[in-house]
Amino acid sequence: MINKRLLGFLHLSIAHHPLCWHFRNHTIRIKTLHLCLGCTGFYSGFIIGFLIFLFSNINLLDWESLIFIGLILYIPTILRLLNLPFFNSSRKDLRIFFRFLLGLGVTIGLISIFKAPNYLISGIQLLLGIGLYFGIGIKRALSKDLWMECDECTFSPSPYCPGFIPFMLRKEKVIESE
């Protein structure tokens, strides 16, 4: 049986955005379950990429081809980070598709690391991948638009955002039930 604390954590972590109309472009809803749009797209792409690798002939490709395919799949994310109009769309279908492609690209990039001809090339690929990951994270963290959705909200200066109330209530239930 799954631990109640683990279940509570999983429920809190799958959306990790306030459930308010300011963040409506950051989440998708399936019945009563709210999911983070970016994480859902990314992990779906990652898992499907792994399944494609297991059950198709993509594993017959050499590592150079895999790197090239992976880089092609990164392009929408890179263009989105550069704030190009079409790629910086608020349309959920495009955003989830771009994240899906990123998940596929990361999977293919990881596979190419294992297929590299020697440890030096694997290490360089791994360092570049980690650098890209942290570069994206740092760019997002330093962005002046990080919390722009909260600027118009009347609860903005308050630590008690009503969008997080459902999370906090669920967290209290999990703690009380232990």
DSSP assignment of 57-123: GGGGS-HHHHHHHHHHHHHHHHHHHTT-TTTT---HHHHHHHHHHHHHHHHHHHHHHHHSSSHHHHH
CA–CA separation, 9 vs 119, rounded Å?
Answer: 38
Contact 178, 5 (CB under 8 A): yes
- Tell me, what's the pLDDT at 12? 54
For residue 47 the two structure tokens come to 């898992």
| Residue-level length of the chain | 178
Spans in the chain with pLDDT lower than 70: 1-16, 140, 144-150, 154-178
Percent helix, percent strand, percent coil in the chain, to nearest 5:
70, 5, 25
Global pTM reads 0.74
Tell me which amino acid residue 44 is.
S
Tell me which amino acid residue 28 is.
I
Residue with tokens 């604390």: 5
